[in-house]
A and B are shown apart, each in its own frame.
Chain A
Amino acid sequence: MTYHANEKGYYGEFGGAFIPEMLYPNCEELRSNYLRIMAEPSFQEEFHQLLKDYVGRPTPLYFAERLSEKYQTKIYLKREDLCHTGAHKVNNTIGQILMAKKLGKNRIIAETGAGQHGVATATVCALMGIQCVVYMGEIDIARQAPNVARMKMLGAEVRSALSGSRTLKDATNEAIRDWINNPVDTHYIIGSVVGPHPYPDMVARFQSVISEEIKWQLKEKEGRENPDYVVACVGGGSNAAGTYYHYLDKPEVGIIAVEAAGKGIDTTESAATSALGKVGIIHGSKSLLMQTPDGQITEPYSISAGLDYPGVGPMHAHLFTSGRGEFISVTDDEAMTAGLEISQMEGIIPAIETSHAFAIFDHRKFEKEDVIVINLSGRGDKDLQTYIDYFKL
């Protein structure tokens, strides 16, 4: 049993490429080349060089002493917040911009929710001198203003997605439509492990640098590569995929996925896909998604723009239905409280997405000897206004 994608991009029954024919040539070009290109020594060399010198990798694996003391277990934080641009998203955009160059593309499009992926894309486009258009829901543009300004400063054009719920799902629709209309010169840098094959697998491979580093870092600190648990928040699931990647097929490592319950899974305002979703097709992939009985995709809600998505990547749908992963949903209030706690106990202000992962201790007990690695996927600067409003700071 493997929890990785097969060659057709399926994780169990999930994945595949449910795309209109207009997208077939684009996806096929990528599918038939991505593994070969990624295996090229010149690609690997450039990728790792940039991760080291530009992104600042390896990111530290930090033992959170006060937090560990409080929850009576050993908690390590993987510091993706220290990546250039402030989140894990840049691991993927570095990989994909190099891929785009190898494929001879001269225009980049992306979707973004929290703006972290948009910033990470605008950043690598500036680095390479390539034109960049980022689609962002109108509502997210308002609640993530600092990131909108960053993208503009980096030279990207931010296009507002006005359809549907005007959040991440709709920004993704708009980016896909752009790609349909520009099939030859444009590469679409998807920001998570979602979308048609080969995106989920490709993005997971680029993000897998996270667990690759955890392995040797933990070996140094604990004398073993395997923690007892790896924990990450799941929007589409890219930081989680990167955190789990090298542990997926190691049953002795527990996998914990934290989703956004919004105002609660028993309300209509939630983004907890595993709790509320059913099997269906979203953005070209068979996965779990929140939908009406009639198959219309519903509008999710979370205080965190990066988790405000009605689906999850097919890897996570498979982890959930197979029972390999343990899924916990955390409300807005629990996440905000946990975000404040880690700020004041460890001196790290996390992104609100990440704050969700820190709320697991309200939901679940660990043994004193357990080693838990939580992926600190991003820093909270972009969310200061939301924190200020919430805590009346």
Chain B
Amino acid sequence: MLNSFQHLQNTMNRINQKLKEDKKLLSIYFTAGYPDLNDTVQVIQDLEKSGVDMVEIGLPFSDPLADGPTIQESSTTALHNGMHTELLFEQLKDIRKTVQIPLIVMGYFNPMLQYGVEAFCKKCHEIGVDGIIMPDLPLDVYQNEYQAIYKKYGLVNVFLITPQTSDARIREIDEASDGFIYMVSSASTTGAKAGFGDTQEAYFNRISEMNLKNPQVVGFGISNAETFAHATQNAKGAIIGSAFIKHLTSHGVGKIDEFVSSIR
């Protein structure tokens, strides 16, 4: 059971506030320290100014198993640029002076483990990060070892589901979640050209009929207005990653608003 203080923290979390808004949410993923080491803060600020609802800040990892070439390459570049965990926290230190939208740190578990899970969560809390997505931190390990720490620092943990995830496991994940569920659109690494066909349609319908307690946000394979509109027919929102990274690669950080306005 949560005590009332923790409960208060959870309900005040910006993610939960945002999910209550009566609109489809656009969330953008980008890799911290990309294209240039010190672009992180400006990218977040420009995304907010352009009307994005939520930002996922990618902490780059040397071996990003779940990512396709675009995010792999941006991670490699960011690491070459000198990005690391402590530096990211340093860059984000004053982010809440200028940015109001929910911020989520997304990465792989090993860098978090090396930093110290509690120290990492504490830092996120101090900065005003609202949630964490660690795709390779499994549900049971999270529940047995780390859930209490996440709660203590008021952090929302976001789990992924895929078209292959069984109903029973989706129920378990729904039970363990207190923000939203990250619905991976197809069996793929990031950046794969999904295009939403019959499989996705059936999957979207199946999930929507399950009446989960947590809203769902769709990610992977969303790259333009069409895929965004399609993904959000049933879901609460959608996440764009690789397509935005590609935009940064070819246009730099100056034209973020152009990308965002092309989506909706």
A interface list, Cβ under 8 A from B: 16-22, 24-25, 163-164, 169, 173, 176-177, 180-184, 278-284, 291, 293-298
Residues of A with C-beta under 8 A to B211 = none
The answer, yes or no, to whether B85 is at the interface (CB within 8 Å) is yes
Q: B149 within 8 Å of A by Cβ?
A: no
- Whether B51 sits at the interface, judged by CB under 8 Å, is no
Known: A17-B138, A296-B61. A177 touches B160 (CB 8 A): no
Q: Is the CB of B250 closer than 8 A to any CB of chain A?
A: no
A residues less than 8 Å from B109 (CB atoms): 18, 281
Given the interface contacts A163-B72, A180-B189, A281-B109, does A20 sit within 8 Å of B65 by beta carbon?
yes
- Interface status of B143 (Cβ within 8 A of chain A): no
Nearest first, the 7 closest Cβ-Cβ pairs linking A and B are A295-B114, A295-B111, A20-B135, A21-B160, A25-B164, A296-B62, A20-B66
A184 to B62, CA, bound (A): 27
Contacts of A278 in B (CB 8 A): 114
User: For A183, what are the chain B residues with a Cβ–Cβ distance below 8 Å?
Assistant: 162, 164, 187
Once bound together, how far apart are the Cα atoms of A279 and B117, in whole Å? 14
Q: B192 contacts the other chain (Cβ, under 8 Å)? A: yes
Please state if B136 and A18 are interface contacts (CB–CB under 8 Å).
Answer: yes
CA distance A18 to B140 in the complex (A): 10
Q: Is the CB of B165 within 8 A of A25?
A: yes
Complex Cα spacing A280 to B112, Å: 10
Chain B residues with a Cβ under 8 A of chain A: 61-63, 65-66, 68, 72, 76, 79, 84-86, 108-115, 135-138, 141, 159-162, 164-166, 169, 184, 187-189, 192
Please determine whether B115 and A295 come into contact, CB atoms closer than 8 angstroms.
yes
Q: How far is the CB of B213 from chain A (nearest CB, A)?
A: 18
Whether the pair B187, A281 counts as a contact (CB closer than 8 A) is no
User: When chains A and B are docked, how far (Å) is the Cα of A24 from the Cα of B76?
Assistant: 26
Q: Are B110 and A21 in touch, CB under 8 angstroms? A: no
- The answer to whether B135 touches A296 (Cβ under 8 A) is no
How far is B63's CA from A183's CA once the two chains are assembled, in angstroms?
A: 20
Determine whether the beta carbon of A294 is less than 8 Å from that of B63.
no
Say how far A294's CB is from chain B's closest CB, in angstroms: 4
Given contacts A18-B137, A176-B65, 4 further A-B contacts (CB under 8 A): A22-B66, A280-B114, A296-B61, A297-B110
Point out the residues of chain A lying under 8 angstroms from B166, CB to CB. Answer: 25
Contact residues in B for A298 (Cβ distance below 8 Å): 62
User: Of B79, B169, B184, B187, which is within 8 A of A296 by CB?
Assistant: B79
Residues of B within 8 Å of A18, CB to CB, are 109, 136-138, 141
Residue of A nearest to B83 (CB): A294
Return B22 CB to nearest CB of chain A, in Å: 29
Minimal beta-carbon separation of A24 from chain B (angstroms) = 7
Complex formed: what's the CA distance from A181 to B86 in Å?
Answer: 33
Establish whether residues A280 and B113, one from each chain, have CB atoms under 8 Å apart when the complex forms: yes
CB distance from A107 to the nearest CB of B (A): 14
Cα A184 to Cα B188 in complex, Å, equals 12
Identify which of A16, A22, A296 contacts B138 (C-beta below 8 A).
A16
Distance in angstroms between the alpha carbons of A291 and B68 in the assembled complex: 22
Contact check, B61 vs A180: say whether CB atoms are below 8 A apart: no
In the complex, how many angstroms separate the beta carbon of A284 from the nearest chain B beta carbon?
A: 7
Interface centre among A164, A181, A296 (most CB of B within 10 A): A296
A selection of 25 A-B contacts at a CB cut-off of 8 Å is: A18-B138, A21-B159, A21-B184, A22-B135, A22-B164, A22-B188, A24-B138, A24-B169, A25-B165, A164-B63, A177-B66, A180-B187, A181-B188, A184-B164, A184-B187, A278-B114, A281-B110, A283-B65, A291-B110, A294-B85, A294-B111, A295-B114, A296-B79, A296-B111, A297-B63
Residues of B within 8 A of A163 (CB): 72, 76
B161 CB contacts on chain A under 8 angstroms: 21
Identify which of A19, A181, A293 contacts B136 (C-beta below 8 A). A19
Please, how many angstroms separate the alpha-carbon atoms of A106 and B213 in the complex? 38
Residues of B within 8 A of A20 (CB): 65-66, 135-136, 160
Name the residue of chain B whose CB is nearest to the CB of A20. Answer: B135
- Which residues does chain A contribute within 8 Å of B112, judged by CB atoms? 295
Q: Which residues of B contact A19 (CB under 8 A)?
A: 65, 136, 138
How many angstroms from the CA of A281 to the CA of B79 in the assembled complex?
A: 18
Which of B136, B162, B165 is in CB contact (< 8 Å) with A281? B136
With a 10 A CB-CB cut-off, give which of A18, A21, A176 has the most chain B CB atoms.
A21
Cα–Cα distance between A251 and B166 once the two chains are bound (Å): 44
Instruction: Note all chain A residues with C-beta closer than 8 A to B162.
Output: 21-22, 24-25, 183
List the A side residues contacting B136 at CB < 8 Å: 18-20, 281, 284
State in angstroms the CA–CA spacing of A181 and B109 once bound together: 21
CB neighbours of A279 from chain B (8 A): 113
Min CB distance A389 to B, Å, is 30
Evaluate contact between B114 and A181: CB separation under 8 angstroms.
Answer: no
Which one of B72, B79, B136, B141 has the highest number of Cβ atoms from chain A below 10 Å of its Cβ?
Answer: B136
On chain A, the residues within 8 Å of B113 by CB distance are 279-281, 295
Which residues on the A side are within 8 Å of B164 (C-beta)?
22, 24-25, 183-184
Q: Which residue of A lies closest to B72 (CB)?
A: A163
A residues near B159, Cβ cutoff 8 Å: 21
Q: Is the CB of B62 within 8 A of A164?
A: yes
Measured in the bound complex, the distance between the Cα atoms of B165 and A163 in whole Å is 29
Residue of B at shortest CB range from A289? B110
Q: How far is the CA of A91 from the CA of B109 in the complex (A)?
A: 33
| Residues of chain A lying within 8 A (CB to CB) of residue B188 | 22, 180-181
Which of chain A's residues have a CB closer than 8 A to the CB of B187?
A: 22, 180-184
A283: which B residues are within 8 A, CB to CB? 63, 65
- The answer on a CB contact under 8 Å between A21 and B189 is no
A305, B146: Cα distance in complex, Å: 37
